[in-house]
Amino acid sequence: MVPKAKKGDSAPPKAKAKAKALKAKKAVLKSVHSLKRQPKYPRKSAPRRNKLDHYAIIKVPLTTESAMKKREDNNTLVFIVDVKANKHQFKQAVKKLYDISVAKVNTLIRPDGEKKAYIWLAPDYDALDVVNKIGII
């Protein structure tokens, strides 16, 4: 239970606490550490280039027998991809390069150090049609 306010108090304790918190917030915003930086010149001569663009993420499609079986049975494309890239980047790269939507992505790192990505296509796309359009087979 909240104690009742005395006659001398002008505001209830919650209002006082709120006012105190707002005052502290304003003080923090005015402090040295919260000022927005406006440098006179950029500290780097050129902005850093993104080394993992869509063409660098997907290296090569796999055309092995097991990859063919995945295409036919599971509606899945198999690619060798960059080791540093992640599943979201694979999904975006396939969408941009081949204009197809992706249901999900599974990955593994092979014993030779390469990363393999299994790209599961959305139900409205057929993997064999996509492969023919891309020119893998």
Domain ranges of the chain: 54-131
Examine the pLDDT at 16 and tell me if it is beyond 80. Answer: yes
pLDDT for the residue numbered 88? 96
Q: Could you report the per-residue pLDDT of 93-131, keeping only the tens digit for each?
A: 999 999 999 999 999 999 999 999 999 999 999 999 999
**CATH superfamily label, 54-131:** RRM (RNA recognition motif) domain (3.30.70.330)
User: Which position has the higher pLDDT, 49 or 80?
Assistant: 80
Please give the model's pTM, rounded to 2 decimal places: 0.66
Return the beta strands (E) in 37-101 as ranges. 58-61, 76-81
Which residue type occupies 76? Answer: T
Neighbours of 121 (CB within 10 A): 22
Condensed to tens digits (0 to 9), the pLDDT of residues 21-55 reads: 888 887 766 666 666 678 888 888 888 888 899 99
Give every strand in the sheet of 102-109, ordered side by side. 58-61, 76-81, 115-121, 102-109
Q: What does the pLDDT average to over 42-69?
A: 92
Q: Tens digit of pLDDT for each residue in 86-102?
A: 999 999 999 999 999 99
Mean pLDDT of the chain: 88
| Among 120, 55, 112, 51, CA closest to 81 | 55
